[in-house]
């Protein structure tokens, strides 16, 4: 990789990509909550200002929380070099992506709508990426050089990739919320084993994983699902169930259960101890 890459946000996604690809000093990082020890461990260059992180960078990857995605684009725009590729990998509504694209392109940058279609771990650089927008071909080529291996262009319109992600999340994150609602009630009623048995042999393991993800990432998922709700509204579909998903994801994240117990029974016990 000859050109430096800027990472806006150094949470799970940013860390995983930088470590797996071995970007090290080629990666310039800006995060609102910098962790200098982590930057040193990964060999990346931590920057105290976004402008410094974007200096001399031909490509920028934004991986922040959904509620910060548009602000990240607005703050980055004045510091972009001519024709900088701006990869917006955030889980937000298509209109949010289009608003961000206007900010980036008005400053001379090239905006690429990227949807991350599965957890970054354990897939890492093989995580499925959907790409859309007028600069998709250039974006795919650059992402390949950066080390990503599973990239698919889905259209020329900014917002198409994010629409697919947002509507998929309605189902996936919704199933997580239903799982929590069902099994927390089952645990309170003392019938968890019977309910799980009625679903089939592999359901307990799936439920354990879904509840784990909510406890670890609930707040981030809640922000994402708010964007899914906006996506549904823009299509004239009432987000009745999705609004419930927003509430459940937020509630599970706010329990702040850490470390998360192993096993479904341990998780359910810890949740009930947190509930009024």
Q: Tell me the pLDDT band of 82, cut-offs 50, 70 and 90.
A: confident
Q: Please, what CATH class does the domain formed by 162-274 belong to?
A: mainly alpha
State residue 276's pLDDT score: 85
Instruction: Decide if pLDDT at 56 tops 90.
Output: no
Residue 1 pLDDT greater than 60, yes or no: no
Task: Supply the pTM of this predicted model.
Answer: 0.92
pLDDT at 269 over 80: yes
Tokens matching residue 175 = 């199933």
CATH of domain 5-157: 3.40.50.720
Short-list 210, 244, 207, 252, CA closest to 225: 244
| pLDDT at residue 30 tops 80 | yes
**CB under 8 Å, gap of 24 or more: what pairs does 81-84 form?**
81/54, 81/56, 81/57, 81/108, 82/108, 83/58, 83/108, 83/109, 83/110, 84/54, 84/57, 84/58, 84/59, 84/60, 84/108, 84/109, 84/110
> What are the residue boundaries of the structural domains of the chain, listed by start?
5-157, 162-274
Whether the per-residue pLDDT at 201 is higher than 90: the answer is no
Q: SS3 letters for the chain?
A: CCCCEEEECCCHHHHHHHHHHCCHHHEEEECCCCCHHHHHHHCCEECCCHHHHHCCCCEEEECCCHHHHHHHHHHHHHHCCCCCEEEECCCCCHHHHHHHHHHHHHCCCEEEEEEECCCHHHHHHHCCEEEECCCHHHHHHHHHHHCCCCEEEEECCCCHHHHHHHHHHHHHHHHHHHHHHHHHHHHHHCCHHHHHHHHCCCHHHHHHHHHHHHHHHHHHHHHHHHHHHHHHHHCCCCCHHHHHHHHHHHHHHHCCCCCCCCCHHHHHHHHHHHCC
pLDDT digits (tens, 9 = 90+) for 129-169: 999 999 999 999 999 999 999 999 999 999 999 999 999 99
Q: What pLDDT does 219 receive?
A: 94
């Amino acid at each position: 990789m000859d050109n430096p890459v800027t990472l806006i946000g150094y949470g799970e996604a940013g860390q995983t990509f930088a470590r797996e690809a071995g970007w090290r000093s080629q990666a310039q990082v800006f995060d609102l909550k910098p962790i200098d020890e982590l930057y040193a461990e990964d060999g990346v260059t931590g920057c105290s200002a976004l402008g410094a992180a974007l200096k001399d960078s031909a490509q920028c990857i934004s991986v922040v929380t959904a509620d910060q995605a548009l602000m990240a684009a607005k703050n980055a725009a004045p510091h972009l070099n001519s024709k900088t590729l701006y990869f917006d990998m955030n889980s937000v509504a298509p209109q949010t992506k289009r608003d961000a694209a206007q900010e980036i392109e008005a400053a001379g940058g090239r905006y690429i709508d990227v949807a991350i279609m599965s957890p970054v771990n354990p897939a890492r650089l093989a995580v499925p990426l959907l790409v859309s927008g007028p600069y998709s071909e250039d974006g795919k080529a650059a992402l390949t050089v950066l080390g990503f291996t599973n990239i698919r262009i889905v259209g020329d319109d900014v917002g198409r990739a994010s629409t697919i992600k947002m509507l998929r999340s309605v189902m996936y994150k919704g199933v997580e919320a239903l799982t929590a609602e069902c099994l927390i009630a089952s645990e309170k009623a003392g019938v968890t084993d019977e309910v799980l048995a009625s679903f089939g042999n592999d359901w307990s393991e799936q439920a354990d994983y879904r509840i784990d993800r909510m406890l670890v990432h609930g707040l981030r998922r809640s922000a994402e699902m708010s964007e899914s709700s906006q996506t549904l509204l823009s299509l004239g579909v009432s987000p009745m169930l999705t609004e419930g998903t927003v509430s459940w994801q937020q509630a599970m994240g706010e329990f702040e259960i850490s470390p998360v117990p192993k096993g479904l029974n341990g998780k359910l016990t810890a949740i009930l101890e947190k509930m009024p």
